[in-house]
Chains A and B, each alone.
Chain A
Amino acid sequence: MIEVKNLTKIYQISKKEQKKNKIKKDQVKAVENVSFTVNPGEIYALLGPNGAGKTTALRCISTLIKPTDGEINVNGFNDSEKVRENISFLTNELKLEDHFSADFTMNFFGGLRNMTSEKIEERKSYLFDILGIKGFKNKKIADLSTGMKQKLGIAVSLIHNPDVIIFDEPTNGLDVLTAKIVTDYLMEMKRKNKTIIISTHVMRVAEKLSDKIGVLIGGHVVMEGTLEKILLETNTESLDDAFFKLYEMYGEQDG
């Protein structure tokens, strides 16, 4: 279970960066007073345009960065190391060392998660099979295609069979077949009672996968609920329309 209460993250901008980017502000509020809860067996989709604060929120939840204010509990833990033991976080920003093979990379991250060799082998076999990695498991990552790297990234993030899965733009850059593997896998994880958050700007993915949707615009959750609730409250017939309507209402203010 993930509980986010009044999450605020302010980035300080150094004088050097202010000068470089020609901005006068010395800080940027990426997210402000964001609150939501995701229960086990639920997929929560954070929906928003670029720069809305989706990745920042997910980075805070995954303990990569510290919130400026607010509280985050993951399976009852707010201690960074405990949280990291329980989560899987996948984002395009996270990369794997090009020099190593898929197999070694899995062993390495399994080792960092204190898993036994037997357990690593067991998880590798399962994930390689389900994600179609077996064929290139001994190839260097440098020689893999973007899709193959993405698959491996997913496998690495799931090596420890976490209870909480956080995927930032999970189908971004994937071909249709690989994207389907990922969405099918997330659905299976949902059935296995895992707590899942995804961030996306692809409405179709949110519609298909999510139980709850949080629309994040300008660092604020401007609407939250099931797809039906959002459609009802925005008086629209599709998530696309609902999103544009909300963006017109809140995005303009933000901009």
Chain B
Amino acid sequence: MDKRLFVIIKKELLRVFTDRRLVFTVILLPGLSIAVIYSIMGMVVGNIEDERSVHKYLIETYNAPSSFVEYVEESPYDRVNLNEVSSNADLEGSKEKLVDENIDLVLVFDNGFDQELGEYENLNIPNIDTYYNPINDYSQDARGYIVNGLLQDYKISIVGERLGNVEYTNVFSVDLENYEVSVAPEEKLVGTMLSRFFPILISIFLFAGAMGIGMDMVAGEKERGTMATILLTPVKRETIALGKLVSLAIVAVVTTFSSVLGIILSIPFSSKIFGEAISINKMMFTPGQIILILITLLILVSIYVGLIILTSVIAKSVKEAGSYIAPIYMVVLISGVLAMLGGGETTMVKYMIPIYGNIIVLQNIFSFDMNLIYFLVNSISSILLTTVLVLIIRKMFYYEKYMF
């Protein structure tokens, strides 16, 4: 191997890592901003959830039967604040209050509700109309709390009265003493959680981290006239191209590491966003998994770096490179979203599509669900694409049309 490759890599890395502005914006800022943003988001989401979990629901009732009012007073449903409205004519007013978010729910009981309950043998079934505002979180919660909780229990208590003993309503129990309902291994559970967002985030961070530096590495150097000075040395053009590719890959990995570190640091505060099951000490990967993850990441980095350097070679300026790279960034984002949405049958073709396939592979590895054949198919198709990209870049480094 030409030792001048290392001279180029050293220069490129020093250019990035000895520039305080670049170190801050490219390496520290992504991790720092992710840690801060996710922590704040996590805390805000947590606070909202905490607030929602203790909120007392304001409910306006019409014709609320005494049996219901008494049941509510004695039941453990203590987050209910009932307000009986005297006239049915005020219903429109109550609906307005729902829209204005002044109350959370309206319950309209049939007239003579209790009486109809008593005449159940005649199959008279009284009705309760509910009104809520789905735009208002509290209203939505209130409906769930009342319709799926309180009214169901109220119904059971009535059936109990009819049977003479409320215990008779207990037909069977489910998982009474079964404390191991989930048979999924904990690491697989955590892995599945992680696979939902981690591969997509890593993919986006990798591309975003490499994008700025990559545009400057070739297009910027051409624009500033420093590339021609290097091209005048007897170093082979492919060595220069390879030096740029390897350096950018290293920078991309470092920035991604920073971003991932940012996520990890934010986990104690952001569990409400990513799911309670995720915590640092539960991130236990097997050595095999780690190797597969590293191989896939390396392949993904190669594709991204190849695409970025290719656009940088075609462009005459950083600005032009930016306009070429934007659609590729969109492809990266769309691939991530499609992979996150998932669905559909697992087919070989999916794994053959670079970027999208790589993200799916990462998801599969994280969730302990990797089929080695699919992994190989994805690796081979990605390596083929990378090889084609590198060959095109190498060829273009010899074209004066692109290099000057």
Which positions in B face A, CB cutoff 8 Å? 3-4, 7-8, 11, 14-15, 18-19, 224-226, 228-236, 400-401, 404
**B226 to A96, Cβ gap below 8 A?**
yes
Can you show 30 pairs from A to B with CB atoms below 8 A apart? Answer: A62-B232, A63-B232, A64-B231, A64-B400, A65-B400, A65-B404, A66-B400, A93-B228, A94-B225, A94-B229, A95-B224, A95-B225, A95-B229, A97-B15, A98-B224, A99-B15, A99-B18, A99-B19, A100-B14, A104-B14, A108-B7, A109-B233, A111-B7, A112-B230, A112-B233, A113-B233, A114-B3, A114-B4, A114-B234, A156-B229
User: Which chain A residues border B18 with CB–CB below 8 Å?
Assistant: 99
**For window 176-214 of chain A, which residues contact chain B by CB distance below 8 Å?**
none
Give min CB distance, A82 to chain B, whole Å: 8
User: Which chain A residues border B225 with CB–CB below 8 Å?
Assistant: 93-95
Give min CB distance, B13 to chain A, whole Å: 12
Bound together, the chains give a CA A108 to CA B236 distance in angstroms of 15
Bound together, the chains give a CA A64 to CA B401 distance in angstroms of 11
Bound together, the chains give a CA A12 to CA B401 distance in angstroms of 9
Closest residue of chain B to A80 (Cβ to Cβ) is B234
Is there a chain B Cβ closer than 8 Å to A85's Cβ? Answer: yes
Give min CB distance, B42 to chain A, whole Å: 38
Shortest 3 CB-CB distances between A and B: which pairs? A95-B225, A111-B7, A112-B233
Bound together, the chains give a CA A119 to CA B361 distance in angstroms of 51
Closest residue of chain B to A156 (Cβ to Cβ) is B229
Bound together, the chains give a CA A93 to CA B222 distance in angstroms of 10
**A64 to B230, Cβ gap below 8 A?**
no
User: Which chain A residues border B7 with CB–CB below 8 Å?
Assistant: 108, 111-112
Is there a chain B Cβ closer than 8 Å to A84's Cβ? Answer: yes
**B8 to A112, Cβ gap below 8 A?**
yes
Closest residue of chain B to A63 (Cβ to Cβ) is B232
**For window 75-118 of chain A, which residues contact chain B by CB distance below 8 Å?**
81-82, 84-85, 89, 93-100, 104, 108-109, 111-114
**B226 to A97, Cβ gap below 8 A?**
yes
- Beyond A65-B400, A66-B400, whether A95 also contacts B233 by CB under 8 A is no
**A94 to B224, Cβ gap below 8 A?**
no
Give min CB distance, B21 to chain A, whole Å: 10
Give min CB distance, A212 to chain B, whole Å: 24
Given contacts A85-B234, A95-B224, 20 further A-B contacts (CB under 8 A): A64-B228, A64-B231, A64-B232, A64-B400, A65-B404, A81-B236, A84-B234, A93-B228, A94-B225, A95-B225, A95-B229, A97-B15, A97-B226, A99-B18, A100-B14, A112-B7, A112-B230, A114-B3, A114-B4, A114-B234
